[in-house]
């Protein structure tokens, strides 16, 4: 693994048994200045989720090779497995909520929300959005309650979990709908199955018809729901995810082109290089040099 792009685990949180933690960004900036953490301003891959709520000045946030502009009232969602970095130049104020995949699944199932829906696998996923003044006030109040309870010597775990569920519910309510308003529950379920299947199968096949069979639908139906959800075809989404994962591997694992070609299921490295260049206008080696 490339030491410049570390993989960060949830194990080091204050109360790992709780399943989540709320942290002031200012305290993290202070830790960076003190030399306690070196990865914060550099791209790093997380094995948990981040919900970042910005309450101060403008700045940027880097997520999967995209720079997002943030300001007071901005919310950024970073999913497990994504690569992101904080802005150490502008140091926008705010709070970050970190939580595990397992904890999210348990809470989300109980309150029936899809804040981190499978569409995070494709670049059309809504990575950030801005809140109204009233919405921001509600989120600040919830986070203050969580933060206060969390800092107690013996926090009430059940109370914290209720507050966390309320926080997710409020964020889910505030965020714009990630799906086309005309999509039926059946179509949404089909699209979700496709994105879940894609994350497991993209190293074995990039054929949309083959993935449609694995999803349990027809190629025509799959293309229709993909276009409704993202304005792109199934094949375009497959290619988008494959390129994104290739970029992640090149940046994080410092993997060689031959190894990456094999991992992604290409017959020859030259075919992978052509595929990568077609979609990025640069070779894998050029991309590595630029990151």
User: Residues 123-156: pLDDT tens digits?
Assistant: 445 578 899 999 999 998 998 999 899 888 888 8
Residue with tokens 């900036």: 29
Please report the pLDDT score of residue 121 as a whole number. 44
CATH class of 185-290: mainly alpha
CATH 1.10.10.60 in the chain: give the residue spans: 185-290
Answering whether pTM is above 0.85, one says: no
Instruction: Evaluate whether 249 touches 242 at the Cβ level (below 8 Å).
Output: no
Collapse the DSSP code of 256 into the 3-class scheme (helix H, G, I; strand E, B; otherwise coil) and give the result. Answer: coil
Query: In angstroms, rounded to a whole number, what is the distance separating the alpha carbons of residues 204 and 254?
Result: 22
CATH 2.60.120.280 in the chain: give the residue spans: 7-174
Q: Mean pLDDT of all residues in the chain?
A: 84
10 Å Cβ neighbour count for 163? 21
Q: Is the pLDDT of residue 98 over 60?
A: yes
Order of strands across the sheet that contains 128-130: 20-24, 94-99, 49-54, 74-78, 128-130
Superfamily of domain 7-174: Regulatory protein AraC (2.60.120.280)
């Amino acid at each position: 693994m490339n030491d410049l792009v570390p993989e960060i685990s949830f194990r080091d949180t204050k109360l790992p048994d709780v399943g989540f933690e709320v942290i002031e960004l200012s305290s993290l900036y202070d830790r960076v200045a003190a030399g306690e953490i070196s990865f914060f301003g550099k791209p790093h891959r997380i094995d948990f989720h981040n919900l970042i709520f910005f309450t101060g000045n403008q700045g940027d946030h880097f997520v999967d090779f995209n720079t997002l502009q943030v300001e007071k009232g901005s919310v950024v969602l970073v999913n497990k497995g994504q690569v992101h970095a904080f802005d150490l130049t502008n140091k926008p104020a705010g709070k970050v909520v970190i939580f595990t995949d397992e904890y999210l699944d348990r809470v989300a199932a109980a309150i029936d929300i899809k804040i981190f829906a499978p569409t995070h696998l494709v670049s059309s996923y809504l990575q950030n959005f801005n809140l109204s003044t009233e919405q921001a006030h509600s989120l600040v109040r919830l986070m203050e309650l969580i933060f206060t309870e969390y800092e107690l010597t013996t926090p009430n775990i059940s109370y914290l979990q209720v507050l966390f569920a309320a926080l997710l519910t409020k964020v889910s309510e505030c965020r714009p709908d990630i799906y086309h308003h005309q999509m039926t529950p059946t179509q949404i379920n089909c699209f979700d199955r496709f994105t879940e299947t894609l994350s497991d199968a993209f190293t074995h096949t990039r054929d949309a018809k083959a993935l449609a069979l694995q999803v349990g639908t027809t190629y025509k139906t799959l293309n229709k729901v993909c276009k409704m959800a993202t304005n792109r075809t199934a094949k375009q989404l497959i290619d988008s995810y494959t390129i994104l994962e290739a970029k992640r591997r090149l940046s994080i694992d410092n993997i060689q082109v031959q190894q990456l070609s094999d991992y992604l299921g290409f017959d020859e490295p030259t075919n992978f290089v052509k595929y990568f260049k077609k979609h990025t206008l640069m070779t894998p080696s050029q991309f590595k040099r630029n990151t």
